[in-house]
Structure 1
Amino acid sequence: MSTTRTSLRTAQKPAPQVHEFRFPRPAPAWRWALIAVGGYAAGLGASAVGVPAPFLLSSLVLGAVLALTGRVRGRLPGPLNRSSQALVGALMGSYLTASALVAAAPVALPLTAVTAATVALSVAVAWFLARRGSISKPSAVLGMVPGGSAAIVSCADELKADVRLVAFMQYLRVGLVATTAPLAAHWMMSSPGRSGGQASHGGPAHSGFLHLVAGSDQLTGLLVLVGVCAAGVLAGRRLRLPTPALIGPMLLALVVTLSGVLPGFAPAGILQNAVFVLVGLDVGVRFTRDTLVRVRQLLPSILVGMAAVCVGCAGLAWIFAKATGTPVVDAYLATTPGGINAVLAAAVSGHADVALISTVQSLRLLLVVLVTPLIIRRLAVSRA
C-alpha cells in the first residue's frame, strides 16, 4: 500500500522546468520601424551607386527577401500603410497645378483613348487565360486589370472571385512594374536622341535633413500636409471613393493646390524618401512562400499574360508619344500597368512629367473601379 502511495506521489510531482534563455522579440511596431530604417539605409546605398528610384527598389527587394525567408509574416501595419497612401495622394495632388492641367488639356482625347485601350487589352488577356480553364473569368479579369490593386482586391469576394489569386496577380504585376519601370525610364532618359522629360516638374529641389516639405515654411507646410491627409482620408471614406486613403487626399490636395492659398505642403527630402520606402515594403512583403506554393502551377501562364499586357501598354505609349509629341518616358510611365504608388515613385525619381502621369493613372484607376464590376457581371451572364 505504501509503495502504491509513493508511486502516486512520484507520478503527481511535476517535472522540473528548464528555462531557456531567449532574446526578447521586439514589438511589431518596433520591428517594422527597424525594417523601414533598413530599407532607408539600403536606399541611400542604392542611390550612391546610381540605381534609379533607389528607395522604392531597395525596399521592395528587402521586403520580398524578408517575406520569402519567413522573417516577416503579414502585411505592413494598417495605420502605416494608410499613412503612406495618404502621403502619396497628397504628393500626387500637389503636382496637378492649373498650368499642368491646361497643358494636358490638348491631349485629353488621346489620353482617354489610351486608357480605354489599356483596360480593353487587360480584359482580352484575362479572357484568354480563362479560356484555358485554369483560372475563372472573374479571377482572371480582376487579377489582370491595371491600376486599382487595393480597390480591386477589396471587391473580389463580392464578385465571386478567388481573393488570394486576385491579390497575388495584382501585386505580382505591381511588383514587376515597380521593378522594371524605373530601369526602363532611366534607360529612356539616358538614351541618345530622346526628346524632353528631363526637367523636374515638381518645383525646385530642396535638401537638408529637416526639410520635409517643398515649401520654405516647414511648420506651416507640415500642418497643411497633416490636415490634407487626415481630412482627405475621412472625405474619401464618406464619399466611398475607391482606395479612399489615396484618392481622398489626392483630390483634397488638388483643391488646395489649385486655390494657391496654402502652397508648399508636398512631401520632400527624407519624408518623400521614407514614403517611397514604405511603398516598396508594402509591395515586397506580399510575396510569401505560401502564396508562391499555392499558385506555382498557374505562375507561367500568369507571367506570360502580364508580359503581354506590359508590352501592349508600351506599344500604346509609343503610339501616344508619336501622335501627341509627348516624351516617350512620360507616355510610358503614364500608361504602364502598375500601381499608382510605384509609378509615381519612378516618375519623381526620374524627373518625369508627374502631373501628366498622375492624371492618366488616376483616370485609369477610376475607370477600372467603375467598369470592372460591369465586365464581370457581363461575363457571368454570357457564361450562363
Structure 2
Amino acid sequence: MRQRSLDFLVWGAILAAMAAVGELGELGEPVIPSPHLLMPLACGMLAALNGLVRDHRPPAILSRGCQALLGVLIGSYLDTSALSEVVGEAAPLVTVTLATLVICQAAAWFMVRFNGMDRATATLGMTAGGSAAAIASAEDLGADGRQVAFMQYLRLVLIVVSTPMLLSWFLSAPRPAPGGAPAGTSWPLVSGPDQLHGLLVLAGIAVAGQITGRVLRLPSPATLGPMLMAALVTVTGLAHGFAPQGALRTVLFTTVGLEVGLRFSRRTVWRLRRILPATLLCTVIVSAACGTLAWVVSRFTRIPFADSYLATTPGGINAVLATASSMHADVPLVSSVQGLRLFAVALIAPVVIKLTLRVWTRRQRGPGPSA
C-alpha cells in the first residue's frame, strides 16, 4: 500500500511537470499541434532513449481511468442538436466520411501486405481520427502502441501543418485573426457550468461504461463502454456538461502521450525507421484522396470547398476546429461531421480488427476435415 501511494505521488509530480511542458507548446508561434499529447510524448521518448526510466507503465487504475475518460469525451461529441442543424448539408459529407474509412482500410491492407505489419497495428495506425483513443486502446487490441502512435502523429502533424497553407493557397482564405482560436481557461474540469454535478455524472458514466463494456464483451471495453454510455446520455438528453475540459482534459492527454513516449527504446526507434517510407506514402495518399472527395462534394453541392475539406480532413479534430474558426468556416458543419466520424472510427476500428484477425486465423489454420 505504501509503495502504491508513492507511485501515485511520483506519477502525479511527473504529470504536473509534463502538463506545464504542454502549456509551453501553446505559447509560441507557430502553435504546436496537440501539445499536451505531443510534448509529453517527446519528453517520454527522450527519457526512454537515454535510459532515465526503468518502469514505463503508470499505475493500472490511472491508465484505465484515462481510457474511460477518453471514451466519455468521444461519446460527448455526438451532439444530435448540432447534427440536426446541418443534416441537409452533412449527408454527402457523411458519405465521404464512410468512403474515408474504406480508404484507410485499404492503406492498412497495404501496410500489412507490403510492409509486414500486423493487422491490428496497421488498422489502428491508419485509421483517420481518434488518435488518442487509438493509442490508448492499442494494447487491449493486441497492437503495437509505439507504431500506432508514430503513424497517427505523423499524419496529424502533416495535416495540421498543410491544411491552413492549402486553404490559403487554393482559396485565398482570410488570414487568421490575431490570437487565433479562443483559448479556454484551464480551471474548469468539465464542460458544464455546474462543476460538481458534471464531475459526478462523468464518474458515473465512466464506471458504468466500463462495467457495461466488460459485460457486453466489447473490444477495448475500458474505452468503448464509456463512449457508448456517454453517447446514449448525450443523445437522449439525460445529462450535459460532463465532457472532460480544461485541466482534466490536459491531464488525460498528458498521461496518454507520456505513457506511449516512455515505450520508445533505442531498439524500437531503430525498428520504426523501417515503416517510415510506407507510412508517409499512405498518409499522403489518404489525405489526397480525402481532398479529392471534398472537392467532388463542393463541386456538386452548395458547400464551399473550405468547409467540405475541413469536415473531411482525416484526423486532428481539435486542430481542424481551431483552423475552421480562424478561417471563418462553417464550424457547426465541420464539428458535426468530424465528431460523427470520430465516434464511428472509435466504434468500428476495434470491431474491424477482431473480425479481420478471426478471418486471418481461420485462413492460417487451413480447411477443416470436411474439405
Give TM-score, length-normalised by structure 1: 0.70
Match of 1:179? Answer: 157
Residue identity matched to 1:43? G
SS in 2 for 1:47: coil
Could you tell me how far 1:146 is from its partner in structure 2?
A: 0.9
Match of 1:268? Answer: 245
Aligned length: 340
Among residues 6, 31, 42, which one is paired with 1:61 in the alignment? Answer: 42
Matches of 2:76 and 2:196, distance apart in 1? 17
Matches of 1:311 and 1:334, distance apart in 2? 11
Match of 1:45? Answer: 24
Matches of 2:351 and 2:47, distance apart in 1? 35
In the alignment, is the contact (CA less than 8 A) between 1:142 and 1:372 conserved in 2?
yes
Could you tell me how far 1:360 is from its partner in structure 2?
A: 0.9
Among residues 93, 96, 102, which one is paired with 2:78 in the alignment? Answer: 96
Matches of 1:347 and 1:78, distance apart in 2? 32
Among residues 251, 265, 279, which one is paired with 2:228 in the alignment? Answer: 251
In the alignment, is the contact (CA less than 8 A) between 1:87 and 1:229 conserved in 2?
yes
Matches of 1:182 and 1:122, distance apart in 2? 18
Q: Kindly tell me: are residues 275 and 126 of structure 1, through their superposed partners in 2, closer, same or farther at Cα, counting changes over 3 Å?
A: closer
Matches of 1:106 and 1:252, distance apart in 2? 27
Q: Which moved more, 1:46-55 or 1:231-240?
A: 46-55
Could you tell me how far 1:176 is from its partner in structure 2?
A: 1.5
Match of 1:14? Answer: none
Match of 2:267? Answer: 290
Task: Verify: 1:346 aligned to 2:313, yes or no.
Answer: no
Could you tell me how far 1:359 is from its partner in structure 2?
A: 0.9
Residue identity matched to 1:173? M
Could you tell me how far 1:335 is from its partner in structure 2?
A: 4.3
Q: Kindly tell me: are residues 260 and 183 of structure 1, through their superposed partners in 2, closer, same or farther at Cα, counting changes over 3 Å?
A: same
Matches of 2:339 and 2:284, distance apart in 1? 23
Could you tell me how far 1:137 is from its partner in structure 2?
A: 7.2
Match of 1:23? Answer: none
Among residues 209, 222, 225, which one is paired with 2:199 in the alignment? Answer: 222
Task: Verify: 1:83 aligned to 2:65, yes or no.
Answer: yes
The structure number with the bigger radius of gyration is 1
Match of 2:52? Answer: 71
Q: Kindly tell me: are residues 345 and 233 of structure 1, through their superposed partners in 2, closer, same or farther at Cα, counting changes over 3 Å?
A: farther
CA RMSD of aligned residues (A): 4.0
In the alignment, is the contact (CA less than 8 A) between 1:208 and 1:269 conserved in 2?
yes
1:340-371 deviations in Å (ceiling 9; x for gaps): xxx34435665654443121122133333334
Matches of 2:90 and 2:255, distance apart in 1? 32
Residue identity matched to 2:23? L
Q: Kindly tell me: are residues 88 and 375 of structure 1, through their superposed partners in 2, closer, same or farther at Cα, counting changes over 3 Å?
A: closer
Matches of 2:228 and 2:96, distance apart in 1? 23
Equivalences for 1:12-27 in 2 at 5 Å?
A: 27=6
Match of 1:105? Answer: 87
Match of 1:32? Answer: 11
1:66-111 deviations in Å (ceiling 9; x for gaps): 2333334534443223222322332333332331231353356534
Matches of 1:299 and 1:90, distance apart in 2? 32
Q: Kindly tell me: are residues 215 and 108 of structure 1, through their superposed partners in 2, closer, same or farther at Cα, counting changes over 3 Å?
A: closer
Q: Which moved more, 1:362-371 or 1:136-145?
A: 136-145
In the alignment, is the contact (CA less than 8 A) between 2:97 and 2:312 conserved in 1?
no
Matches of 1:381 and 1:261, distance apart in 2? 44
Q: Kindly tell me: are residues 285 and 328 of structure 1, through their superposed partners in 2, closer, same or farther at Cα, counting changes over 3 Å?
A: farther
Q: What runs of 5+ residues in structure 1 fail to find an aligned partner?
A: 1-25, 157-162, 199-203
Matches of 2:158 and 2:211, distance apart in 1? 34
Equivalences for 1:81-160 in 2 at 5 Å?
A: 81-106=63-88, 109-129=91-111, 132=114, 134-135=115-116, 138=119, 141-142=122-123, 145-146=126-127, 148=134, 154-156=140-142
Could you tell me how far 1:214 is from its partner in structure 2?
A: 2.3
Q: Kindly tell me: are residues 130 and 182 of structure 1, through their superposed partners in 2, closer, same or farther at Cα, counting changes over 3 Å?
A: closer
Q: Which moved more, 1:368-377 or 1:83-92?
A: 368-377
In the alignment, is the contact (CA less than 8 A) between 1:215 and 1:264 conserved in 2?
yes
Could you tell me how far 1:381 is from its partner in structure 2?
A: 8.1
In the alignment, is the contact (CA less than 8 A) between 1:53 and 1:349 conserved in 2?
no
1:262-291 deviations in Å (ceiling 9; x for gaps): 332222222222223223324433433221
In the alignment, is the contact (CA less than 8 A) between 1:123 and 1:144 conserved in 2?
no
